[in-house]
Structure 1
Amino acid sequence: MTLRPEYSLGHSPYNAFLFAAVGEEQGGGPLTVLSALTRLGFDPWQEAARLAGLPRETAARVFAVTIAMLPEGDWKASESEAIAARLVNWLPGQVPQAIPLVQGEYVDNKRTKLTIATALAWGVLAAALLFFTLHLISNNNFAFGHEAGMSTQG
């Protein structure tokens, strides 16, 4: 499955945010937002898109909770709000939300296509069965023993 253009690494507007450093891990290496979100089980691009759609203050509060779930590195849990406020500034401006599909119309259309395809498949199967049955009857292949011209005497 290919990524949508806004989630691809080369052209993602979320790169600045995702590759920003949260801080240093206890081992001394930098911990990026991308790594932090991945370790917590989030899809980094989806989470970045979700946060980008929120007002900055709300995004910072929400992301602070996420940072607080991380094991402490060179930062303290009490610093998660300040870290989150710094990091959400790397998010692009308000990203327009995707236009939702009109569920009823889309689902009904999909269901109708599925129903038509199913009915067509059953129709073809019924026609084939009818043709096969008529063919066997016309050749007397349903007749058994002496009725089909076979003699039981040797």
Structure 2
Amino acid sequence: MADPNVLNPHPPEFERFLYASVGEDRNGYVVTVLSTLARLGLDPWQETADLVKQGHDAARARLGTLLARFRDVPALASDHGRVARDLSQLLPDGRTSGTLKRAALPVADGRPGTSGAIWAVLAIIFVLFQMFMVGGSGSGE
């Protein structure tokens, strides 16, 4: 039977945390944890998996450090500790499901990823379609 998470390989347990607000930017737009981590150059799902593995107190400290580095939300300059504490409460508990374990695996573990296989199949289909279209039109001779 096919994996039900093939189209969304990210753990659903992370959504509550990743889509939580860290505050408003200078233009009044809400900035999420996902956006914050991405803007800091981190993979949001990998970072979340790492936070979950660290435990509550270590995760709160790491999150506070990351939020202190983030300058797009002015309120975080003085309030990053409280925001980190509140956000750390949204992390799933340390009991890792199979999905969480898979998310915590490094990408370069030597196994081709499911999404990579999907993209490869789509690329082959696209090339075959292009060959069919170009080969089928002919020059009319």
Q: TM-score range by the shorter chain?
A: 0.5 to 0.7
Confirm whether residue 44 of structure 1 aligns to residue 44 of structure 2: yes
Runs of 4+ in 1 over 4 A off after TM superposition: none
Q: How does 1:113-124 map to 2 (within 5 A)?
A: none
Question: CA, structure 1 residues 11+86, in 2 after alignment: closer, same or farther (shift >3 Å)?
Answer: same
Q: Distance in 1 between matches of 2:80 and 2:92?
A: 21
Q: CA deviation at 1:11?
A: 5.2
Confirm whether residue 22 of structure 1 aligns to residue 9 of structure 2: no
User: RMSD across aligned C-alpha pairs, in angstroms?
Assistant: 2.9
Q: CA deviation at 1:46?
A: 0.3
Of all paired residues, the percent bearing the same amino acid is 32
Q: CA deviation at 1:12?
A: 1.7
> Residue 45 of structure 2 aligns to which amino acid in structure 1?
W
TM-score, normalised by the number of residues in structure 2:
0.60
Task: Tell me the SS of whatever aligns to 1:53.
Answer: helix
Aligned to 2:66: 66
> Residue 53 of structure 2 aligns to which amino acid in structure 1?
G
Is the 2:23–2:76 Cα contact (8 Å) retained in structure 1? Answer: no
Q: Distance in 2 between matches of 1:56 and 1:81?
A: 14
> Number of residue pairs matched?
97
Q: CA deviation at 1:72?
A: 4.8
Q: Which has the higher contact order (CA 8 A, sep 6+)?
A: 2
Is the 2:18–2:32 Cα contact (8 Å) retained in structure 1? Answer: yes
Is the 1:53–1:94 Cα contact (8 Å) retained in structure 2? Answer: yes
Confirm whether residue 88 of structure 1 aligns to residue 102 of structure 2: no
TM-score, normalised by the number of residues in structure 1:
0.55
Q: Distance in 2 between matches of 1:7 and 1:73?
A: 32
Query: Where in structure 1 are there 5+ consecutive unaligned residues?
Result: 100-154
Which of these two proteins has the greater Rg computed from alpha carbons? Answer: 1
